[in-house]
């Protein structure tokens, strides 16, 4: 299946990818070519911010895949994101080499500080980029596979599953806060110097990471589209809408769920791996249950089961967060809280559904009754 | 203390022991007048050059039984006792413009001013310090205040000085406070451990068997290291083993208490959720914030009635119930009623509400933690035995949790509202057609759950920090408890909460607090795979929902 067939009928997705392409071309030019004095210049700070939003968007797409198309509300996707981030963070930590505060040739600073004499076994191999990149995908994938295997096989569904995923990320947060875990405890991993030999502080590296994020988002989006337009995707929707019936028809519900859930977790891991070099730190706070719930609201605001809506929601909410926390720090939680309530009450289909809602409202203006509430 | 009492009594049996026993006996037979003479002579002896003479004098003064002797001996111990050069009379001094102003050490009468050279400080050595402490303790042992007697008994624990032993025997004859009696008995047994006769030591060793006082264990351990008599040794080993056994039991009881205490906190936090989630099927992520509101209500009540701290909780409990309950009704009427049947949407909307409530508290009160005070009756501990003390705050909260549980159970099983709540939970359409106003029942049920969360907040404010984030700490635990216990089952919540609390505390000694918590979470995640509907699953048609 080619890109064209996957994207057929997905008008919003086509527009989103087009905008993404334009941004990916224009932003580097405006950053590198346009002099800083010009009003058209895009600062490196903004580039990094955009890159961060793009990784969030990829994460939101991963959530939308399982929530919108499979009906699993995961309140633990930040855990997969965080694990991917930690894998990349470990690579970046090893790249520091002897340039740390303590100047130890192998051990990261926090291990020297804890009086550890050698690298723990699970840190082996993370000096190689390909290994770390593989782990950023495999570790979240494995965790999702084990968790999903146990949960789906015993038919834990709905709210129970949501609460269990939340417990999962909560347990991980508590675990990563412990110094004994060997991941830097409370402070996490930070003070990164370079990636693949490129200085992380240079503009060119920042642009490179931004482009990598954009590319990952585009590829991740296409992969999700490919899944949802395939037979697998149609079975997934069937499971979402009538799980028992799908099972009785003869589909192996647990296997479909497991496959898509695991893939989604891997996607979240990729997003985390791209996120960490751009923000320069990963700490256990990323596992906090609040983060997972927050990213669900990105999807809800954008519109679930559209994929491109997740991208819109992630970028809009995070832009709002950046703006509010800078301009009115007091108001941000009020705004976020109100968003949660308003979206669930009045916008069950999110921003992506807004277009459709307005269209149906216009078309049937004479029998206006209940058109707005058409979506249960 | 560099000296220990054992050496003293063994090395100076005559001076410290027999001679003085005779002295006391003779003194007791002498008429009062000559006893006063005796003490007068002893007072002079206090400033003698020889420490041994001083010691003898202290014993005589202490044996005199004069209550004022206590102050004199205390002054001597504190290095505040001086002797007048002219007649060697012990005096207390206070600096004055001309030198010192003297007061009589015994009767406190003013002796006028003298220059600095006219008095000399009475020095003491370490051995005398021990002796003085004992003597003061023996004097205070006769005090009418049981608390002072208890302190004295603890002070002289294991003292083998015959005067002390005699004083203890005397006091035992008339002591009516059990705690003091226990200490006095222990003291006598400890003293007999150093007796010359093996039989006496054997009796003492047996008397100490299973004693929970740390002093008994230490004394027996020490005895084992230098006891010549094999029979006594064997008995001591048996007694020690009995002590260890009892200590282990008490440690287990303490762990159990801590576990139940943690469990009661979990039950309190979860029981409101058991109603909103279990009975109504509403995922209320703002539950933790309702707990927080209850805790802040406690804080505000305490601020409003600063003079009546001890009674503040009794006002705070109904106040928190009403505040949180009304807030719950408001949330239900404005948001949740539009979302019935869509549990995941309720989850998101109530999470939004929880963010708003947190920020509301941050903006209106403070982003910092606030100080909620403990009433006096909540502090202190119930001393079951020397090795086991149950703190009152935890004990009361455990009892309170059970009371809340029973009250809720009665409301659900015995009242008209409870009947309607259960009817709506089982079959909304049928209940409505029977005339139950389901909208009203929904609002009241949610209000009840929220009110209970508020009451839980009052209790939790006595144990933990009260801050805008405190609710988040409980929300996941609460859901775990409800899910583990089985949704829609109050008993399940109680059993699950207490079990998880005890399990947590049992694991803590070898796993550490955080790891224990992680293990419990992992356990629940695995448990839910095996029993997706919890410990006590709902049966019948309602379970299909």
pLDDT in tens, B18-60: 555 555 555 555 445 566 677 777 878 877 878 888 888 888 8
The mean of the pLDDT values for chain B is 82
B241 CB near a chain A CB, below 8 Å?
A: no
Taking CB atoms and an 8 Å limit, are B515 and A178 in contact across chains? yes
Smallest CA–CA distance, residue A334 to chain B, in Å, is 5
pLDDT in tens, B320-364: 999 999 999 999 999 998 988 787 788 889 989 999 999 999 999
B199 CB near a chain A CB, below 8 Å?
A: no
Taking CB atoms and an 8 Å limit, are B529 and A156 in contact across chains? yes
Alpha-carbon gap, residue A152 to A260, rounded angstroms: 12
pLDDT at A229: 93
The distance of Cα B33 from the centroid of its chain, to the nearest Å, equals 50
Answer whether residue A145 shows pLDDT above 80.
Answer: yes
Answer whether residue A287 shows pLDDT above 90.
Answer: yes
Answer whether residue A236 shows pLDDT above 70.
Answer: yes
Alpha-carbon gap, residue B526 to B520, rounded angstroms: 10
Smallest CA–CA distance, residue A164 to chain B, in Å, is 6
Residues near B12 by beta carbon (within 8 Å), at least 6 away in sequence:
none
> Residue B124: phi, psi to the nearest 5?
-135, 160
Residue A244 lies in a domain: yes
pLDDT in tens, A165-207: 998 999 999 999 988 888 988 889 988 988 888 888 888 899 9
Burial class (CB in 10 A: 0-12, 13-18, 19+), B384: middle
Chain B, nearest residue to A334 by Cα: B356
Count CB pairs under 8 A between chains A and B.
117
Question: Which structure tokens are listed for B222?
Answer: 């020490």
pLDDT at A34: 85
**How big, in percent rounded to 5, are the helix, strand and coil portions of chain B?**
70, 5, 20
User: Which of A60, A103, A59, A107 has the alpha carbon at shortest distance from A84?
Assistant: A59
User: Which of B4, B117, B144, B136 has the alpha carbon at shortest distance from B74?
Assistant: B136
Answer whether residue B11 shows pLDDT above 60.
Answer: no
Residue A131 lies in a domain: yes
Residues near A104 by beta carbon (within 8 Å), at least 6 away in sequence:
A98, A111, A112
pLDDT tier at B318, thresholds 50, 70, 90: very high
**Using CB atoms, which residue from A163, A297, A337 is nearest to B483?**
A163
Please compute Rg for chain B using Cα positions.
34
- Specify the range with the lowest mean pLDDT, choosing from A244-258, B130-144, B311-325, B499-513: B130-144
Residues near A268 by beta carbon (within 8 Å), at least 6 away in sequence:
A58, A59, A62, A63, A77, A78, A80, A81, A84, A140
Three-class SS string for chain A? CCHHHHHCCCHHHHHHHHHHHHHHHHHHHHHHCCCCCCCCCCCHHHHHHHHHHHHHHHHHHHHHHHHHHHCCCCCCHHHHHHHHHHHHHHHHHHHHHHHCCCCCCCCCHHHHHCCCCCCCHHHCCCCCHHHHHHHHHHHHHHHHHHHHHHHHHCCCCHHHHHHHHHHHHHHHHHHHHCHHHCCCHHHCEECCCEECCEECCCHHHHHHHHHHHHHHHHHHHHHHHHHHHCHHHHHHHHHHHCHHHHHHHCCCHHHHHHHHHHHHHHHHHHHHHHHHHHHCEECHHHHCHHHHHHHHHHHHHHCCCCCHHHHHHHHHHHHHHHHHHHHCCCHHHHHHHHHHHHHHHHCCCHHHHHHHHHHHHHHCCCCCCCCCCCCC
The mean of the pLDDT values for chain A is 89
Taking CB atoms and an 8 Å limit, are B363 and A297 in contact across chains? no
Q: What is the mean pLDDT of residues A254-276?
A: 96
Is the complex ipTM higher than 0.90? no
Q: What is the mean pLDDT of residues B408-412?
A: 92
Helix A203-229 vs helix A253-279: crossing angle, to nearest 10: 170
Count of the separate structural domains present in chain A? 1
What is the sign, positive or negative, of the torsion defined by CA atoms of A337, A342, A348, A352? negative
Contacts of B530 in chain A (CB under 8 A): 154
Provide the residue count of chain B: 545
Taking CB atoms and an 8 Å limit, are A344 and B339 in contact across chains? yes
pLDDT at A375: 44
pLDDT in tens, A49-82: 999 999 999 999 999 999 999 999 999 999 999 9
Alpha-carbon gap, residue B516 to B523, rounded angstroms: 10
What share of chain B has pLDDT > 90, as a percent? Answer: 24
pLDDT at B33: 52
Taking CB atoms and an 8 Å limit, are A340 and B352 in contact across chains? yes
Enumerate the β-bridge partners of residue B390.
Answer: B382
Collapsing DSSP to helix, strand or coil, B104 comes out as: strand
Q: B446-468 in b/e burial notation, b at 16+ Cβ within 10 A?
A: bbbbbbbbbbbbbbbbbbeebbb
pLDDT in tens, B217-262: 888 888 888 777 888 888 888 888 888 888 899 989 999 999 999 9
Q: Which of residues 466-495 of B touch A (CB under 8 A)?
A: 472, 476, 479-480, 483
Domain segments of chain B: what residues? 5-140, 200-249, 252-471
**Using CB atoms, which residue from B359, B521, B524 is nearest to A337?**
B359
Answer whether residue B475 shows pLDDT above 80.
Answer: yes
Alpha-carbon gap, residue A60 to A39, rounded angstroms: 32
Alpha-carbon gap, residue A375 to B364, rounded angstroms: 38
B344 CB near a chain A CB, below 8 Å?
A: yes
Smallest CA–CA distance, residue A122 to chain B, in Å, is 19
Smallest CA–CA distance, residue B256 to chain A, in Å, is 24
Cα–Cα distance list, A220 to A57, B137, B139, B447 (Å):
10, 82, 87, 45
Alpha-carbon gap, residue A260 to A357, rounded angstroms: 29
Count CA atoms closer than 13 A to B249's CA, side-chain side: 12
pTM for this predicted structure: 0.78
Taking CB atoms and an 8 Å limit, are A343 and B479 in contact across chains? no
Instruction: Please name the residue ranges forming H helices in B307-365.
Output: 309-334, 343-364
Smallest CA–CA distance, residue A143 to chain B, in Å, is 13
CB atoms within 10 A of CB B223: 22
B532 CB near a chain A CB, below 8 Å?
A: yes
Q: What is the helix (H) or strand (E) element at residue B218, kind and residue range?
A: helix B214-226
B510 CB near a chain A CB, below 8 Å?
A: no
Answer whether residue B544 shows pLDDT above 60.
Answer: no
Alpha-carbon gap, residue B286 to B334, rounded angstroms: 14
Cα–Cα distance list, B480 to B27, B285, B486, B530 (Å):
75, 13, 10, 15
User: Which of B409, B377, B410, B372 has the alpha carbon at shortest distance from B396?
Assistant: B377
B524 CB near a chain A CB, below 8 Å?
A: yes
pLDDT at B23: 55
Answer whether residue B143 shows pLDDT above 90.
Answer: no
Taking CB atoms and an 8 Å limit, are B529 and A300 in contact across chains? no
Contacts of A149 in chain B (CB under 8 A): none
Answer whether residue A156 shows pLDDT above 60.
Answer: yes
**Using CB atoms, which residue from A167, A174, A333 is nearest to B525?**
A167
Alpha-carbon gap, residue B490 to B492, rounded angstroms: 5
Pseudo-torsion of CA A359, A363, A366, A367, nearest 10°? Answer: -70
Residue with tokens 């941050």: B362
pLDDT tier at A83, thresholds 50, 70, 90: very high
Chain A interface residues (partner B, CB cutoff 8 A): 73, 147, 150-151, 153-156, 158-160, 162-164, 166-168, 170-171, 174-175, 177-178, 289-290, 293, 296-297, 300, 330, 333-334, 336-341, 343-345, 348
What share of chain A has pLDDT > 70, as a percent? Answer: 97
Cα–Cα distance list, A171 to A168, A181, B476, B517, B520 (Å):
5, 13, 10, 8, 9
Residues near B313 by beta carbon (within 8 Å), at least 6 away in sequence:
B298, B375, B378, B458, B462
User: Which of B455, B474, B454 has the alpha carbon at shortest distance from B464?
Assistant: B474
Is-contact A92 A297, C-beta < 8 A? Answer: no
User: Which of A369, A368, A348 has the alpha carbon at shortest distance from A303?
Assistant: A348
pLDDT in tens, B161-197: 776 777 788 787 878 888 888 888 888 888 887 777 8
Range of the domain at A91: 44-363
pLDDT at B2: 44
Answer whether residue B270 shows pLDDT above 50.
Answer: yes
């Amino acid at each position: 299946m080619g890109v064209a067939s996957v994207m057929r009928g997905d008008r919003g997705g086509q527009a989103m990818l087009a905008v993404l392409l334009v941004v990916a071309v224009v932003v580097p030019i405006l950053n590198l070519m346009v002099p800083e004095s010009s009003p058209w210049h895009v600062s490196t700070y903004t580039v990094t911010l955009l890159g961060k939003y793009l990784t969030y968007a990829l994460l939101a797409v991963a959530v939308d895949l399982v929530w919108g198309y499979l009906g699993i509300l995961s309140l633990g996707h930040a855990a997969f994101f965080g694990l991917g981030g930690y894998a990349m963070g470990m690579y970046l930590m090893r790249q520091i080499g002897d340039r740390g505060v303590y100047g130890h040739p192998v051990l990261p600073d926090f291990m020297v500080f804890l009086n550890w004499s050698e690298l723990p076994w699970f840190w082996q191999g993370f000096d190689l980029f390909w290994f770390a990149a593989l782990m950023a995908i495999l570790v979240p994938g494995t965790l999702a596979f084990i968790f999903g295997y146990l949960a789906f096989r015993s038919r834990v569904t709905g709210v129970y599953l949501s609460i269990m995923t939340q417990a999962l990320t909560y347990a991980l947060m508590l675990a990563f806060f412990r110094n004994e875990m060997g991941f830097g405890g409370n402070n996490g991993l930070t003070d990164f110097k370079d990636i693949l030999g490129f200085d992380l502080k240079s503009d060119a590296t920042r642009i490179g990471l931004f482009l990598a994020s954009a590319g990952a988002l585009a590829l991740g989006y296409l992969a999700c589209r490919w899944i949802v337009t395939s037979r697998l995707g149609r079975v997934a929707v069937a499971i979402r809408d009538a799980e028992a019936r799908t099972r009785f028809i003869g589909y192996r519900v647990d296997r479909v769920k497991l496959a898509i859930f695991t893939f989604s977790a891997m996607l979240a891991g990729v997003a985390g791996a791209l996120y960490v070099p751009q923000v320069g730190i990963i700490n256990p706070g990323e596992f906090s249950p609040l983060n997972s719930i927050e990213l669900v609201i990105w999807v809800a605001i954008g519109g679930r089961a559209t994929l491109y809506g997740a991208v819109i929601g992630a970028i809009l909410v995070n832009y709002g967060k950046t703006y509010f926390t800078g301009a009115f720090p007091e108001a941000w939680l009020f705004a976020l809280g109100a968003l949660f309530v308003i979206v669930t009450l009045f916008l069950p289909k999110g921003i992506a559904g807004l277009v459709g809602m307005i269209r149906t409202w216009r078309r049937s203006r004479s029998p206006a009754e209940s058109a707005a509430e058409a979506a249960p | 203390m560099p000296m220990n009492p054992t050496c003293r009594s063994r090395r100076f049996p005559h001076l410290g022991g027999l001679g003085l026993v005779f002295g006391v006996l003779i003194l007791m037979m002498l008429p009062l007048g000559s006893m006063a003479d005796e003490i007068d002579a002893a007072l002079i002896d206090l400033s003698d050059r020889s420490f041994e003479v001083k010691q003898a004098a202290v014993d005589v003064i202490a044996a005199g039984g004069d209550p004022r002797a206590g102050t004199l001996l205390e002054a001597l111990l504190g290095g505040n006792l001086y002797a007048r050069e002219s007649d060697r009379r012990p005096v207390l001094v206070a600096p004055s413009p001309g030198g010192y102003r003297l007061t009589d050490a015994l009767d406190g009468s003013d002796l006028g001013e003298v220059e600095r050279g006219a008095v000399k400080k009475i020095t003491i050595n370490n051995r005398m310090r021990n002796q003085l402490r004992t003597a003061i303790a023996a004097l205070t042992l006769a005090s009418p205040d049981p608390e002072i007697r208890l302190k004295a008994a603890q002070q002289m624990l294991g003292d083998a000085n015959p005067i002390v032993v005699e004083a203890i025997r005397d006091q035992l004859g008339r002591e009516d406070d059990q705690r003091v009696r226990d200490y006095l008995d222990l003291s006598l047994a400890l003293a007999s451990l150093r007796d010359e006769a093996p039989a006496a030591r054997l009796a003492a060793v047996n008397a100490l068997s299973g004693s929970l006082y740390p002093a008994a264990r230490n004394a027996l351990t020490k005895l084992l290291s230098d006891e010549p008599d094999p029979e006594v040794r064997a008995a001591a080993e048996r007694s020690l083993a009995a002590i260890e056994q009892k200590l282990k039991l008490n440690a287990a009881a303490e762990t159990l208490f801590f576990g139940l205490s943690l469990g009661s906190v979990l039950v309190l936090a979860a029981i409101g959720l058991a109603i909103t989630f279990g009975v109504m099927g509403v995922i209320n992520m703002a539950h933790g914030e309702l707990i927080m509101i209850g805790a802040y209500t406690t804080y505000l009540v305490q601020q409003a009635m600063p003079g009546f701290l001890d009674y503040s909780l009794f006002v705070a409990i109904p106040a928190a119930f009403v505040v949180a309950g009304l807030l719950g009704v408001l949330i239900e009427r404005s948001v949740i009623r539009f979302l019935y049947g869509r549990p995941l949407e309720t989850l998101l909307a109530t999470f939004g509400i929880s963010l708003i409530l947190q920020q509301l508290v941050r903006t209106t009160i403070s982003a910092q933690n606030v100080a909620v005070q403990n009433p006096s009756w909540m502090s202190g501990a119930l001393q079951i035995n020397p090795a086991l003390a149950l703190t009152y705050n935890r004990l009361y909260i455990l009892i309170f949790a059970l009371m809340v549980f029973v009250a809720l159970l009665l409301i659900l099983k015995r009242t008209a509202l409870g009947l309607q709540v259960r009817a709506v939970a089982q079959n909304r359409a049928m209940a409505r057609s029977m005339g139950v106003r389901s909208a009203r029942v929904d609002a009241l049920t949610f209000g009840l759950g929220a009110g209970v969360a508020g009451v839980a907040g009052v209790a939790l404010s006595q144990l933990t920090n009260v801050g805008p984030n405190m609710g988040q700490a409980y929300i996941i635990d609460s859901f775990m408890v409800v899910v583990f216990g089985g949704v829609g089952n109050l008993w399940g919540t109680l059993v699950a909460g207490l079990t998880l609390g005890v399990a947590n505390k049992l694991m803590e000694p070898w796993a550490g607090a955080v790891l224990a918590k992680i293990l419990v979470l992992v356990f629940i995640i695995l448990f839910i795979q095996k029993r997706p509907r919890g410990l006590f699953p709902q049966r019948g048609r309602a379970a299909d929902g």
